[in-house]
Amino acid sequence: MRTAYFDLISGISGDMTVAALLDLGVPRKRLQEELGKLANLEFRMRVGKKAVNGIRAVRFQVLAAQGQPRRSWADIRALIERSGLSAEVKARGLAIFSRLAEAEGKIHGVAPEEVHFHEVGAVDSIVDIVAAAIGTCFLGIDEFACSAVPLGRGLTRSLHGVLPVPAPATLELLKGFPVEGAHIEAENVTPTGAAILSALVTEKGEAPAMRVERTGYGAGTLEFADRPNVLRMVLGESASRLGHERMLVMETHIDDMNPEFYDYVLERLFAEGARDVTLSPVQMKKNRPGTLLRVVAEPEQRDALAGIVLGETSTLGVRCYLVDRLVLPRRTLKLKTRFGTLTVKVAEEPGGGKRATPEYDQARKVAVSRKVPLKAVYDEVTRCFMGGQ
C-alpha cells in the first residue's frame, strides 16, 4: 500500500504541503494543467528552490489577483464540483475543504454553508487544497500518517482581529491528534494545513512500518532558531495493507451502581471522544453479578475519560493499558445518490476490494424523512459507489 508520512518538523501549511508533493515528483506542468480546470479563478503559481539550514527544499506560492468575489463554502464546493477534475481529486479536495468550513463555522457560530473566506485568502486556500488533492492522487497515495504536531504560540492578526496561536480553527481541526509544545513564537500550523491532516491522516504518532522510496521537503516562509522550517513528506510502500494505531483501553468492574446511570455514563464518554464503550456482564467476588465497563480511546484522552468514569460511577479505580490496533485503510467522501448527497466511509479490504458505508445518523434521518427502509438507504449507497468505480 502506498503510504505517505507527514514528518512535522516545524509545522504544516497548505503551501508547504504542495511544495513537498512537488519535491516528491509531482510534475509542475501537470499540477498547473489540473489547477487550470478550476473556472474563473485568477492566480499564478510560483515554484522555486530554497535552502533551509543546508536542506534543499521546494517553495510554493500562490499569487492571487485582487478584486475577486468573496466566496462562501457553498460557492467553493460548487466551483470544485463543476470543474473538470477527476472524481477522486474532487472527493479528496472537498473532504479537506469541508473539514475547514466545519471548523471555521463552529468557531464563528455559523453554519458551514455560511462561512465566507476573504477574497485572496479564499484563492490561496482553494489552490493549496485542490493542489494537495491533485498531488496525493497523482502519487497514488492510499494511506497517510503523521508525527505529533508541534504547536507554536503567540498572537496573529486576522480579519476578525487579533487571535491566539494556534488559531481556534486549527485546534478544532486537530482534535484527536497528538500535539506537543514547540518553542516557536509564530503560527507554524495553519488552518489549511490542519485541515489537510484532519481529512487525510488515519495513523498518528510514530512513523508507520514502510519501505522508504522518496522524501520531499516543502519550505515555509519564516525562519526558526531551533529547527529548519520545512515539512518533510516520506513516501513509500507499507509493509502491510493494514493500518496501525496505538490505542488506550480503560476498564473497571462495577457491582454496586444503579444500572439506570449507565446510559448517562456512556453518553458522556462518547461526547468526550471515546472511540468505543462497552458493557459486559461478569460474576464478581462474593458471587455478585456485576458489569465490566470498557473504554477504547486515544492515549492522550486518558485523564479526561478516567475523570468521567471515576466521577460518574461507583468504582474506585480504573485499569489502563496500551494496545496495538490493526485497521483497514479508510477515507470519507461525499456520494451523490437518489436520496441526495450522503457522507460515506470507504474501507479497503485486505484483498483489494472496497466497501462503502453511509454515516448511520445521516442514513437514519434520510430513511425517516423519505419514509423508506433504512436498508434501502444502505443498498443505494452500495449501488452508487460500485457504479462509480
Whether 241 contacts 348, CB under 8 Å? yes
C-alpha cell belonging to residue 200: 487525510
Q: Where are the alpha helices (DSSP H) in the chain?
A: 14-24, 28-35, 73-81, 87-108, 119-138, 168-173, 191-200, 262-272, 302-312, 360-370, 374-387
Q: How many domains does the chain have?
A: 3
Does residue 51 share a domain with residue 11? yes
Q: Which CATH number covers residue 278?
A: 3.30.70.1380
- The residue type found at 283 is Q
DSSP of 345-372: EEEE-TTS-EEEEE-HHHHHHHHHHHT-
pLDDT value, residue 28: 95
Does residue 263 share a domain with residue 141? no
Does residue 226 share a domain with residue 118? yes
Does residue 64 share a domain with residue 181? yes
Q: Domain range for residue 350? A: 330-387
Of 200, 222, 240, which residue constitutes the final position of a domain?
A: 240
pLDDT value, residue 120: 43
Does residue 173 share a domain with residue 300? no
- The residue type found at 182 is A
Does residue 350 share a domain with residue 265? no
As a whole number of Å, the CA-based R_g of the chain is: 23
**Pairwise CA distance, residues 382 & 385, whole Å:** 5
Does residue 345 share a domain with residue 317? no
Which residue reads 499564478 in cell numbers?
44
Does residue 370 share a domain with residue 297? no
pLDDT value, residue 193: 95
What is the mean pLDDT of each successive set of 10 residues along the chain, which is 389 residues long? 92 96 96 92 92 95 80 88 90 91 83 64 87 95 92 78 86 92 89 94 85 95 91 87 78 94 96 95 91 92 93 94 82 88 86 85 93 94 81
Question: Is the pTM higher than 0.75?
Answer: no
pLDDT value, residue 121: 55
Does residue 273 share a domain with residue 197? no
Which 3 state secondary structure label does DSSP give 219? strand
Q: Minimal CA–CA distance to 147: which of 58, 93, 227, 55?
A: 227
Which residues partner with 230 through β-bridges?
219
Does residue 191 share a domain with residue 44? yes
Does residue 273 share a domain with residue 141? no
Of 276, 301, 327, which residue constitutes the final position of a domain?
A: 327
Q: Minimal CA–CA distance to 21: which of 57, 62, 64?
A: 57
Of 327, 351, 379, which residue constitutes the final position of a domain?
A: 327
Does residue 225 share a domain with residue 130? yes
